[in-house]
Amino acid sequence: MQAEPIASWQIWGTLRAARMPLGLILIPDRVETRAQMTEYSDSAYVYRMFDLVFGIRSPGVFAYLTEKEKKALNDFSAAYAALPWQPLALHPHISELVDGDFSPVIPAAKRLDRLLALRTGRGPVSATYRLAHGWPLRVPIQPTERGLGQ
């Protein structure tokens, strides 16, 4: 199955958005101070955020990843799937960890987050990384209606 072409600003946005749920695992204090889904466990909140904004696994975006990024994503996805998830009784589309322990996925999450930070971040290190891979130096901007066809 061939992936549909995606604009560079959409790829960048998807890669950047993927860092948010990774941050929930890597920086647990972000979960503890959350205001949404307060009646559910932190792991259920993390599961839902991955479900909603982790579009990096879609074929259209996956096709644009480097081999190193694909390997990091596959390693993380395998570790994440191997966690002891248990569906919530009232919301079976959301799961939570039996023990609430994300430590088995932290090394893979760090590797993937680092690569995504290099690809989408700001600063000289990220800029050098993008130039070395032949990617745009600046963040792609979504075209406006006025800008189309000019």
- Take residue 43 and report the two structure tokens written for it: 């792991």
> Mean pLDDT per 10-residue run, the chain (150 residues)?
66 87 84 75 91 89 91 97 95 92 95 90 74 66 51
- What pLDDT is attached to residue 102? 94
pLDDT (0 to 100) of residue 4: 58
Q: What local confidence, expressed as pLDDT, does residue 93 receive?
A: 93
Buried b (16+ CB within 10 A) or exposed e, 3-37: eeebeeebbbbbbbbbbebbbbbbeeeebeeeeee
The helix or strand, by DSSP H or E, that contains position 64, with its residue range, turns out to be none
Q: How far is CA 70 from CA 12, 39, 56, 59, in A?
A: 15, 35, 10, 11
pTM of the model: 0.79
